[in-house]
Amino acid sequence: MNEIKLGHVVRALAVFLIAVVMLSAGALAQQVAATTVKPGMRAGDANRGKALYQACAACHSIDENDVGPRHRGVVGRRAGSLPDYGYSAALKGS
């Protein structure tokens, strides 16, 4: 009798755990979908962009070539196309 009850408890616990895992996976997928930039999307959070860009600024600046090429005009220009930056062959040929 007690063994059967224990079996029920274990099964209920397993179902609960699976439900928790599925819910967390769903929440994670929603978060990923929300942060993916899609074509035609409107301007995002400028302050967040500013904070994120600080990591890039270790190698890039807007107007001068540094470790990485300058970023002004990067949106829309062909990758690896600045005439005064020494790109890798891989990026130049991309």
- A 10 A CB-CB count for 69 gives 22
- The token duo for 87 is 């790109």
Helix intervals (H) in the chain: 2-35, 46-56, 89-92
When the beta carbons of 33 and 55 are compared against ligand HEC, the nearer one is: 55
Of residues 45, 60, 62, 76, which one binds ligand HEC by CB under 6 A? 60
Q: Check binding of 91 to ligand HEC (CB under 6 A).
A: yes
Of residues 16, 56, 62, 72, which one binds ligand HEC by CB under 6 A? 56
Q: Tell me the Cα Rg of the chain.
A: 25
Which residues of this chain interact with ligand HEC, rule CB under 6 A?
Answer: 55-56, 58-60, 67-69, 74, 79-80, 82, 87-88, 90-91
